Chain A
Amino acid sequence: MAAVAAMAAAGCGGVWRQARQRFARWPGPGSRPFSRGHRAVVCNARGGAVSAGKSGLAPWIPVVGLEIHAQISSNSKLFSGSQVQFAAPPNSLVSFFDASLPGTLPVLNRRCVEAAVMTGLALNCHINKKSLFDRKHYFYADLPAGYQITQQRVPIAVNGSLSYSLCIDNKMSQMVTKTVRIKQIQLEQDSGKSLHDDTRSQTLVDLNRAGVGLMELVMEPDMCCGEEAAAAVRELQLILQTLGSSQAVMAEGQLRVDANVSVHHPGEPYGVRTEVKNINSIRFLAKAIDYEIQRQIQELGNGGTILNETRAFDSKLGCTIPMRDKEGKQDYRFMPEPNLPPLILYDAKSLPANMNHQQVINIDWIHERLPDLPSVKREKLVEQYGILPEHSFTLLVLAELWKGEGKTPLETVKEHKLELLQDLKELEQICQAVIDGQENEVLAIKAGNRKVLNKLIGLVQKKTQGRSNPVLVKQLLEKKLSE
């Protein structure tokens, strides 16, 4: 079994990025985890994952399932009329209901329901014409009611699928389409935000986010590695942004992803899974999952066991650590939300005759007005312009980038730091700094080894985040070194 080095799919920055992942050569006694080496766990085009281990040792199949929370893009909250806005003064966007003051009741926001229906339709789900709300109980300072209103028994959408593409070789010339099944989509409330003040041993609570509408998307464990998860989430992001149902920006907490990871031998039952939380970017998502897969393989290989626990991803250390605040398995004591009757949705056939239009949500009406999804747009680009499929990915992401409301292309470019560094003085300073920091290399160049100059050029490129003109950099460096 040859180890196949796979490349991560294009990132959402409109720039092709090569992410080289490092894994231990596994199995092997005395092998250091995460040392430079071949990729031990590989997702092949047919979907299974196999470890490129020594013959005779049973391979491991990693299983990855995602739970995604997408904040609904709406003016007001799911069950109250307070505003939804990022970064406002603390507790300024909070209604009496959000603060769980006695005597307040939930009132469902029509826009949130439409967002969930759109998303369900875009992901090929069956939309439940009757769905129910439930209470999920647990105690935490940012959950003033002591329970979250969610849809545990009968969610709004079930049994869908998300198709995404992966590059399976170095040259990005072979793309394969994969599918992950969507188990369900449910509407639920977001909680407030806790700021931990360890010095004064207290938590500061801001309820601005409490009650904001969320769509929880539960995926079946159809994936086998970080790369697949990253690609799937990127595609989901694009879909949500195209629909407008969520802005899905991970950095602003509008898209939160938790990963469930386990490993097992082929033919054996699934292994114990761990839940990995605190993942703040798609890049970290892939890292966290791949780390956890390796950790489990290593643990089991050493004769240990995997605990059914929740682990947090530490982005600085690049590893997962057990979360301290979890006391055993939670019992949420689900019960029907007594203040909300069933949510009834209609289609063209079942449309009631004498009801106020504002009170009716028609699934077919929403279906007819769905915009072209990214996959359709890409197909059209390929067909119309004869471009390569992988280029259609870049174009679409660039299009999203440039769609920024009210921003000129120039502003978007500046914002995403895509433009070349124009300030010659600044570039000169950077070149000088690199020269000053690389004594040995400078000596080597002056002694006649010109190839080392490329290393310095590379360092300048790194410092300028790829925004410098390499020809100009070479000229500047050569000039300085000849002085």
Chain B
Amino acid sequence: QKVSVEVLDHLEHLALVDFRDSEGVERLQKAIQFADQLHEVNTDGVEPMDSVLEDRWCLYLREDDVTEGNCTKELLENARETVEEYFVAPPGNIPLLKLEEQNTYLQGS
């Protein structure tokens, strides 16, 4: 069962991945097939597992103390562009072009 072009396009918009070529799409198909094996197990009435550690995986609760922060300079060092200690980003989300407007592999398929 192949993944439709519409679904692939939808995924590209959601995750900003580029399936790039037939090899990329094929890899996705194989990954889905591999995961689908899970359906072979009957899980009726079985609670989903959170972790193989089960009860031994305890959520650690931290005290409400201020222990971090105050490292503006360090954080801004990673940014290509800053303005008065603010990070700079494009004006809004720049949406991917619609499928019809693209010049990618998906458009050709």
Contact = CB atoms under 8 A, between A and B. Distances in A.
A203 B62 contact: no
Contact of B89 (A83, A141, A341): A141
A358 to B, nearest CB: 7
B45 interface: no
Contacts of A206: 86-87
B85 A110 contact: no
A113 B63 CA distance: 11
Interface residues of B, number: 38
Judged by DSSP, the binding face of B is: loop
Interface in B40-66: 50-51, 53, 57-66
Interface in B59-98: 59-72, 75-76, 78, 83-93, 95
Contacts of B85: 89-92
Given A203-B91, A361-B61, A139 B16 contact: yes
Interface in A88-139: 89-97, 99, 101, 107-113, 132, 137, 139
A481 B70 CA distance: 62
Contacts of A196: 91-92
Q: Size range of the interface on A?
A: 35 or more
A361 B59 CA distance: 12
B48 to A, nearest CB: 9
Contact of A331 (B14, B61, B70, B78): B14
A330 B67 CA distance: 36
A107 B65 CA distance: 12
A110 B93 CA distance: 35
26 contacts: A75-B64, A75-B65, A76-B65, A81-B68, A82-B68, A89-B85, A90-B72, A94-B71, A94-B75, A109-B61, A111-B63, A113-B61, A137-B15, A194-B89, A195-B86, A196-B91, A201-B90, A204-B89, A206-B86, A331-B10, A331-B14, A341-B51, A342-B50, A342-B59, A344-B58, A359-B58
